Chain A
Amino acid sequence: MTDPVLQVSDLRVTHPGPVTALDGLSFELAPGQVLGLVGESGSGKSAAALALLGLHRRTPTTVDGTILLHRPDRPVLDLNAASDAELRTVRGPELAMVFQEPLTSLDPYRRIGTQIATAYRLHTGASRAEAKQRTAEALDRVGIDPERARDYPHQFSGGMRQRVLLAMALVLRPRVLVADEPTTALDVTVQAQILRLLDGLREETGMALVLVSHDVGVVGGLADEVVVLREGRTVERGATARLLGDPEHPYTRALLDAVPRLDAPLPERAAPADGDALVSVERLRVDFGSVQALRGVDLTVRRGETLGIVGESGSGKSTLGRTLVRLQDATSGTVRFEGEDLASWRGRELRRRRHELQMVFQDPTSSLNPRRLIGDSVAEPLRVRGGHDEAAVRAEAVGLLERVGLGAAHADRYPHQLSGGQRQRAAIARALILRPKLIVCDEPVSALDVTTQAQVVALLRELREEFDLTLVFIAHDLAVVRSVSDRVAVMRQGEVVETLAAADLTRPRQDYTRALLEAVPRLEAVAGR
């Protein structure tokens, strides 16, 4: 191994509280090398990334340990002990960072060209013209038309903004780039492009990369070495291939097992392939002003089946789901439920029959009233319907909570006293309490960690049998969808591109579906490396 650029030893980050976010992280990084930091939400990944650039300064958070930066022809600098002024000269030209939220990480009030050029001039003192020239080059390199330097951030998509941030880093040619979940907020296809770009830049400039992600697949594809974090502590550290192929620690193994795989065997299930149509959608269009969210969707949901819906962000998945449960009115076209046109339900009739159609939402935080006890939230639908005495309602709610893996104790808690997974379970219980015929699950597991995600998916699978449910399962993760669905509809720009049996998902007919599939990072490929 060549001389390291960055030597981190025993890094600790303590938030006031005190909350130990990071508890002793050590690693070395050589030029051109990629270090992957993985771990579930809250494991301290961001804490570590921010600490590397000294970004915890001016906050109540304390950082201990040493971060040695090796520079050619200059003394080694301990970033944690350096003065603010020293640190400032290092930030940018030596160490740069790309953030998780590309949408908010650029100054909304300044043109992107100006933002890149200013960063450049700040450290090089270059002339305006030169800075402009360099900016254009950098933008070109990351695949953005230099003409667009005059645009504002909001005129770019998330992926493009992440490229702009990369261009900002690139223009200063840093020796180390810290990327904190650079692709989490992006669609899979865009994610693949950004990862490719990062890898290319590393090769070209020889910069070292610290890649932070919760997605083992993402890290696995790029990293030379991987550190697995859990509650701030380093669980395991090792060369990527070894660690993924043959994890030593049980937690690492559990983590890997929970990752949904496209090539995993599908569970045996008597597919109700020939069930009659519970819901049939014809030429459904939904417009929001000038935005055409759905542009003529035809779809059938058969009784008892689970229909998966996948597609990129903005493709209209949620809109379709909301229209199915009549939270959204169709602009044109029809949605038939058991042969009846949903639009014909009005007023009292609508309210009376609502319970047959339920929905589970993506964000477990906002899907439960923060001011109501969990037990009351679950019981509320029964109270709305009336006709049950209080004891029965309570018993039913607690029973269902137990069924979804929570207990009577949880009934008397507020949502913020539960974890994300637990909240999602409560939301499922609420959806079930009215014994609906159809439940639309809109990305029910997207906000959850992989391990939790696996549990909730498993729960849904069980409940489906037990309550004789028909499910519409919306997700952007192909592997997850494949694991629960009988059939999968692929959406793009408000249209259903194709509908496939889950087993056939890996053998799509449409190019778009294929592109989606190819963009998914594959763990198995790395593990075998």
Chain B
Amino acid sequence: MTRFLLRRLFGAAAVLVALAALTYLLFYAMPGDPALLACGKGCSADQLAQVRHALGTDRPLVQQFWTFLTTLVLGHGYSTGPSTIWCSAPCLGYSYQSNEPVTQMLLERLPVDVSLALGSAALWLLIGVGTGLFAALRPGRRRDRITNAVVLTLGSTPVFIMALLLLMGACVWLQVLPFPNYVPLTEDPAQWAQNLLLPWLAIALVTAAGYTRLTRAGVLETLNQDHIRTLRAYGYPERRVVLRHAVRGALPTVVTVAAMDIGMVLAGAVFTETMFGLPGLGKLAVEAASTVDLPVVCGITLLAGALIVVANTVADLLHAALDPRVRI
């Protein structure tokens, strides 16, 4: 276990450094000069050079990248003008555009994605596992086929179309909900839930399909396994066979995939955030990319990559915890 975690940690660090390098390279190659943007309208050549120097974008790429890495591990001092402030590790640097420490910007956005991920995960698990079971109980019958068709349709719907339909349906036609406007949980839990309901639904509806299939397939597969025959041979009631034992067989996969999916949503849900105007990481990422805000872009990529890696590790741990046969 410790060895597994250490190995994972090591692997993750390597992946993340590679990721950061890739991002740096990519955005370095991007047209558009962050200094020019920061400098604004009517910026003279001299001034531009000064701004470049202030941002540090006048140095060679490798040097910039190295600073980025050392800053991440050791922290870095930033001149605000009259004074220098210390950005302590893990420091992702200072945004070119909004003059804020990137770490802080990300931490401000993360709660949105956490809210989004956890809420939608609860919903999609409920919907997915529920319908999966519903379909698995009578495989091949009409309700199985209908569930299958519905789930396939929902699962194939691009999330922005789903979001659009939900917005128009709930806010424009039926007017049962106001237009979502994110409210932090700490501020007003009821408002928080109400405003996130549609985003949760949008993600959950398009994601649940996968879980319906996983659950259905998992339950059916387990029901076909020999040990289920043993249970039947010892007079276990069918309900118990399905609900306790067959579901148990489908559980590790469902939970593992859920962990990975949650990681993905945590790392930013661009469309959902854009459609519902949620101030999350995904939206920040798109904005930062369009303003060549390299520190922010790198910070998000790293955080997103880290979240995905962590989610994968958690998925493996959960898999091991749920399946006694798997050792790590």
CB–CB B325/A154 < 8 A: yes
Shortest CB distance B323–A (Å): 7
A382 to B153, CA, bound (A): 51
A89 to B236, CA, bound (A): 9
A135 to B80, CA, bound (A): 73
Q: Does B230 contact A (CB under 8 A)?
A: yes
Give the chain A neighbours of B226 by CB distance below 8 A. Answer: 99, 101, 104-105
CB–CB A90/B235 < 8 A: yes
From known contacts A152-B324, A152-B325, A154-B325, infer whether A105 and B229 are also in contact, taking CB-CB under 8 Å. yes
CB–CB B233/A97 < 8 A: yes
Q: Does B7 contact A (CB under 8 A)?
A: no
CB–CB A92/B229 < 8 A: no
CB–CB A108/B227 < 8 A: yes
CB–CB B324/A105 < 8 A: no
CB–CB B234/A107 < 8 A: no
A122 to B237, CA, bound (A): 9
Instruction: Produce 1/0 per residue, A65-109, CB < 8 A to B.
Output: 000000000000000000010011111110011010100111111
Q: Does A168 contact B (CB under 8 A)?
A: yes
Can you name the residue of chain A whose Cβ is closest to the Cβ of B235?
A: A91
Give the chain A neighbours of B237 by CB distance below 8 A. Answer: 88
CB–CB A122/B235 < 8 A: yes
From known contacts A108-B325, A109-B323, A152-B325, infer whether A123 and B230 are also in contact, taking CB-CB under 8 Å. no
Q: Does B225 contact A (CB under 8 A)?
A: yes
Can you name the residue of chain B whose Cβ is closest to the Cβ of A108?
A: B325
Can you name the residue of chain A whose Cβ is closest to the Cβ of B237?
A: A88
Shortest CB distance B252–A (Å): 8
The one of A88, A107, A152, A172 in contact with B245, judged by C-beta atoms closer than 8 angstroms, is A107
Q: Does A55 contact B (CB under 8 A)?
A: yes
Give the chain A neighbours of B8 by CB distance below 8 A. Answer: none
Q: Does A48 contact B (CB under 8 A)?
A: no
Give the chain B neighbours of A408 by CB distance below 8 A. Answer: none
CB–CB B235/A55 < 8 A: no
Q: Does A165 contact B (CB under 8 A)?
A: yes
Can you name the residue of chain A whose Cβ is closest to the Cβ of B324?
A: A152
The one of A55, A89, A104, A108 in contact with B233, judged by C-beta atoms closer than 8 angstroms, is A55
Which B residues, 300 to 328, have Cβ-Cβ distances below 8 Å to chain A? 322-325
A92 to B233, CA, bound (A): 7
Give the chain B neighbours of A101 by CB distance below 8 A. Answer: 226
Q: Does B248 contact A (CB under 8 A)?
A: yes
Q: Does B232 contact A (CB under 8 A)?
A: yes
A88 to B234, CA, bound (A): 8
Give the chain B neighbours of A104 by CB distance below 8 A. Answer: 225-227
Q: Classify chain A: how many residues form its interface, as a range.
A: 20 to 34
Shortest CB distance A127–B (Å): 19
Q: Does A119 contact B (CB under 8 A)?
A: yes
Shortest CB distance B131–A (Å): 22
CB–CB B229/A108 < 8 A: no
A101 to B225, CA, bound (A): 11
The one of B235, B238, B324, B325 in contact with A123, judged by C-beta atoms closer than 8 angstroms, is B235
Q: Does A53 contact B (CB under 8 A)?
A: yes
Give the chain B neighbours of A154 by CB distance below 8 A. Answer: 324-325
Q: Does B185 contact A (CB under 8 A)?
A: no
Which A residues, 98 to 146, have Cβ-Cβ distances below 8 Å to chain B? 99, 101, 104-110, 119, 122-123
The one of B227, B229, B236, B322 in contact with A55, judged by C-beta atoms closer than 8 angstroms, is B229
Give the chain A neighbours of B231 by CB distance below 8 A. Answer: 107
Instruction: Produce 1/0 per residue, A197-226, CB < 8 A to B.
Output: 000000000000000000000000000000
Q: Does B249 contact A (CB under 8 A)?
A: yes
CB–CB B234/A108 < 8 A: no
CB–CB B227/A119 < 8 A: no
Shortest CB distance A234–B (Å): 24
A514 to B297, CA, bound (A): 73
A123 to B233, CA, bound (A): 12
CB–CB B235/A109 < 8 A: no
A106 to B249, CA, bound (A): 12
A99 to B229, CA, bound (A): 9
Shortest CB distance B42–A (Å): 68
Give the chain A neighbours of B238 by CB distance below 8 A. Answer: 58, 84
Give the chain A neighbours of B324 by CB distance below 8 A. Answer: 108-109, 152, 154
Shortest CB distance A27–B (Å): 20
Give the chain B neighbours of A55 by CB distance below 8 A. Answer: 229, 232-233
Instruction: Produce 1/0 per residue, B204-233, CB < 8 A to A.
Output: 000000000000000000000111011111
Give the chain B neighbours of A84 by CB distance below 8 A. Answer: 238
Shortest CB distance A85–B (Å): 9
A168 to B227, CA, bound (A): 13
CB–CB B229/A168 < 8 A: no
Give the chain B neighbours of A90 by CB distance below 8 A. Answer: 235
A90 to B245, CA, bound (A): 21
Shortest CB distance A288–B (Å): 16
A84 to B238, CA, bound (A): 10
Give the chain A neighbours of B235 by CB distance below 8 A. Answer: 87-93, 119, 122-123
Give the chain B neighbours of A92 by CB distance below 8 A. Answer: 233-235
Can you name the residue of chain B whose Cβ is closest to the Cβ of A172?
A: B234
Give the chain A neighbours of B245 by CB distance below 8 A. Answer: 107, 109
Can you name the residue of chain B whose Cβ is closest to the Cβ of A154?
A: B325
Give the chain B neighbours of A152 by CB distance below 8 A. Answer: 324-325
A491 to B323, CA, bound (A): 34
A251 to B227, CA, bound (A): 35
CB–CB A122/B232 < 8 A: no
Which B residues, 227 to 267, have Cβ-Cβ distances below 8 Å to chain A? 227, 229-238, 245, 248-249
Max chain A C-beta neighbours (<10 A), residue from B226, B230, B249: B230
Can you name the residue of chain B whose Cβ is closest to the Cβ of A54?
A: B232
A91 to B230, CA, bound (A): 10
A97 to B323, CA, bound (A): 26
The one of A58, A97, A105 in contact with B227, judged by C-beta atoms closer than 8 angstroms, is A105
Give the chain B neighbours of A88 by CB distance below 8 A. Answer: 235-237
Shortest CB distance A4–B (Å): 21
Give the chain A neighbours of B229 by CB distance below 8 A. Answer: 55, 99, 105
CB–CB A108/B323 < 8 A: yes
Shortest CB distance A416–B (Å): 21
CB–CB B236/A122 < 8 A: yes
CB–CB B232/A109 < 8 A: no
From known contacts A152-B325, A154-B324, infer whether A106 and B227 are also in contact, taking CB-CB under 8 Å. yes
CB–CB A91/B233 < 8 A: yes
27 contacts between A and B (CB under 8 A): A53-B232, A55-B233, A58-B238, A84-B238, A88-B235, A88-B236, A88-B237, A91-B234, A91-B235, A92-B233, A92-B235, A97-B230, A99-B226, A101-B226, A104-B227, A105-B226, A107-B231, A107-B245, A108-B227, A108-B325, A109-B248, A110-B248, A119-B236, A122-B234, A122-B236, A152-B324, A168-B230
What are the nearest 6 A-B pairs in CB distance?
A91-B235, A104-B226, A152-B324, A92-B235, A88-B235, A92-B234
Contacts A104-B226, A109-B323, A168-B230 aside, 8 further interface pairs with beta carbons under 8 A come to A55-B233, A84-B238, A91-B232, A96-B234, A107-B230, A107-B231, A109-B322, A122-B235
Using a CB–CB cutoff of 8 Å, the interface residues on chain A facing chain B are 53, 55, 58, 84, 87-93, 96-97, 99, 101, 104-110, 119, 122-123, 152, 154, 165, 168, 172
